[in-house]
């Protein structure tokens, strides 16, 4: 009987110590997230992870997500990858935070690993679409549309990096149709010129037509459409 009681007491002390440790970790996280200084917030979040990572704290995933997505002095591309990958590995992120983490990771991987960038960009699009379908209020739907458009833009960058000009053009067009950002048209024209140089005249024509439709005053694009048609043997058109 004494052994049973002793065991129960030891178990209670262990759980009590765990609860106290979790409470201290919670306080560290709250202190970090209530800081008004990005630099201080980042430092406190790193302190939180140094003391509480791997101990089952409920905020570990969000601490990593914040260090991946927020701006602070000294932040590197490797920091984005390390914290972002860890946040995804831990799971439990809300859809909005997840989309921001995925977007940041995809943007970095465009330069390092286009295939991985495409995977993450597609996850942004899929996650945002699913979340949008659950929304009933227009302001929230607009938020998800921006993320979908951003996902298509990063997808286009990854496809362009992989020299898949046709797919890149399609992704940029999807992004432009949502975001209506003139900078995206410049990307479409760049892809069109790459396709033209590769003698993929049908793909180049599609890109230049899209650029001209977006800006009817863009006579350069119209001229390039004509050149594509000529190169493709469509002289009458």
Task: Supply the pLDDT for residue 16.
Answer: 41
In the three-class reduction of DSSP (H, G, I as helix; E, B as strand; rest coil), residue 113 is classed as coil
Task: Supply the pLDDT for residue 232.
Answer: 85
- Average pLDDT, 10 consecutive residues per value, the chain (237 residues): 42 40 86 95 97 94 98 97 98 97 98 97 97 77 94 97 94 95 93 90 88 85 88 84
Q: Rounded to two decimals, what is the model's pTM?
A: 0.85
Q: What 8-state DSSP symbol labels residue 36?
A: S
Residues 6+ apart with CB under 8 A from 61: 87, 90, 91, 92, 93
Q: Where are the alpha helices (DSSP H) in 70-164?
A: 77-90, 95-112, 114-134, 138-161
């Amino acid at each position: 009987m004494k052994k049973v009681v002793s065991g129960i007491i030891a178990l209670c002390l262990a759980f009590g110590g765990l609860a106290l440790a979790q409470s201290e970790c919670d306080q560290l996280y709250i202190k970090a997230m209530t800081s008004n200084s990005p630099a201080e917030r980042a430092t406190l979040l790193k302190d939180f992870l140094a003391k509480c990572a791997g101990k089952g704290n409920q905020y570990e995933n969000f601490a990593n997500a914040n260090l991946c997505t927020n701006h602070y002095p000294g932040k590197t591309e490797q920091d984005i990858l390390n914290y972002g990958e860890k946040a995804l590995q831990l799971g439990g992120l809300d859809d909005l935070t997840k989309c921001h983490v995925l977007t940041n990771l995809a943007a970095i991987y465009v330069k390092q690993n286009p295939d991985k960038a495409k995977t993450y960009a597609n996850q942004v699009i899929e996650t945002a679409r699913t979340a949008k379908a659950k929304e009933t209020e227009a302001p929230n739907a607009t938020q998800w549309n921006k993320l979908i458009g951003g996902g298509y833009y990063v997808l286009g960058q990854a496809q362009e990096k992989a020299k898949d000009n046709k797919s890149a053009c399609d992704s940029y067009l999807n992004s432009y149709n949502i975001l209506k950002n003139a900078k995206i048209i410049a990307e479409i024209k760049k892809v069109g010129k790459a396709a033209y140089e590769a003698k993929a005249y049908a793909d180049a024509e599609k890109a230049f037509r899209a650029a001209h439709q977006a800006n009817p005053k863009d006579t350069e694009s119209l001229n390039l459409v004509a050149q594509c048609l000529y190169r493709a043997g469509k002289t009458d058109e």
